[in-house]
Amino acid sequence: MNRKSFPSLLLLTLLISCSLPNVTITQATETPAPLTPTVTPPPPLPTAEFGLAENPVILALAPSSNSPGQINAAKALAEQFTQRTGHVVVTVVPDSQAALVDALENGNAHIVLLDPLTYALAYQKELVNASYAVVVENQTTYGAQFIASRKIGFKPYFDELTQTNTADASVALAQFADKKPCWSEETSPSGYIIPLGFLNANQIITRPAAFVQGHPTVVRSLYVGGICDFGATYVDARKFPSLEDQYPDLMEQVIVVWRVPDIIPYSLLAISADMPQDMRDQFVNAVPAIMQTDDGKAAFKSAYAIDELVPVNDAYYEDFREYMDQSRIDLSTLVK
């Protein structure tokens, strides 16, 4: 090699080495996540058609129905409903009124007999539709009365001769403001809840009440005095036999100040709101046909203590539900 060309070759080598990129090679250490296979869940099992043996209509007895006669009568009613509607009907006995409401809510009761409080709670929950009212002594509803001792000086706004009120509730009940009531018990529609609803609806504030346990006890408390200023009972608790014997002048000394109209139901037959309308119509129409037979009437009597039913709807109980709401009582604490 020519010694003169050596510096040029060295320079060329340096230039080439400077122009090469600086590449660093590293080895991958992470393991890729395994693929998760997509699993399609199986389709839900089909529900049997409502009214078939696998998904029957359920006729509920009252919670107190524990005698063989009641249970057998209910089964006879279920058979008659099945024959007349073509839908399979079975029976059940709930443990309590609260359990009956739960059964309605869970689809485990469809035809039910309800007392006033249980009906009001079930209606609030949109669980039932009223279909038939139970008739008691030719009436389907009853009222209440505000009573007081004549000695206190309250003005009566009820005419004993004509059995009618002579003023509106707003006028008659205003004199109870800041007075102490005697109520029967917390679960009594006529001895507490509905009268309280009328007081609240008319913005009448009273003193804390005394719960004296029983309508006759309310009457007795007012006659004797010193416990409360006024009270409420069913019509007419003053005629309770033991009271008349004990206090011969009671009817003169304990007066009716105002009477609550007949808006409280005795009890009623209702159908689950979840039942399709056409099926509901079938069962509603089957009731009078069953009641017209000797066996059917006897079964209603034995199973539910029902002698007579008349058709109604929820509008029939609108006033009752209004004053129940006005009482501002949580019904779920009373229905047990």
Q: Please name which of 270, 81, 288 lies closest in space to residue 73, comparing C-alpha atoms.
A: 81
- Rg of the chain in Å (alpha carbons): 38
Tell me what pLDDT residue 4 has.
Answer: 43
Tell me what pLDDT residue 46 has.
Answer: 57
Give yes or no for residue 255 having a pLDDT over 90: yes
Instruction: Specify the 3-state DSSP secondary structure of 25.
Output: coil
Tell me what pLDDT residue 88 has.
Answer: 98
Give the number of other Cβ atoms within 10 Å of residue 218's Cβ: 32
Which domains does the chain show, CATH number per domain?
57-138+266-333 (3.40.190.10), 141-264 (3.40.190.10)
Torsion on CA atoms 131, 136, 137, 141, rounded to nearest 10: -70
Give the pair of three-digit tokens for residue 3. Answer: 């010694």
- In the chain, how many H helices and how many E strands? 12, 13
% of the chain residues with pLDDT over 70: 86
Q: Within its chain, how far is the Cα of 241 from the centroid? A: 34
Average pLDDT of the segment spanning 30-40:
50
- Exposed / middle / buried, residue 47 (Cβ in 10 Å: 0-12, 13-18, 19+): exposed
What per-residue string of b and e applies to 229-244 under the rule 16 or more CB within 10 Å gives b?
bbbbbbbbbbebeebe
Give yes or no for residue 21 having a pLDDT over 90: no
Confidence of residue 44 (pLDDT cuts 50, 70, 90): low
Average pLDDT of the segment spanning 304-332:
97
- Helical H runs in the chain? 6-19, 68-85, 97-105, 116-124, 169-172, 194-201, 215-224, 241-246, 250-253, 277-291, 294-304, 318-326
The residue among 188 and 39 whose pLDDT is bigger is: 188
The residue among 148 and 25 whose pLDDT is bigger is: 148
Give the length of the chain.
Answer: 336
Q: How far, CA to CA in Å, does 177 sit from each of 148, 170, 230, 267, 326?
A: 14, 11, 11, 32, 17
Give the pair of three-digit tokens for residue 170. Answer: 């707003």
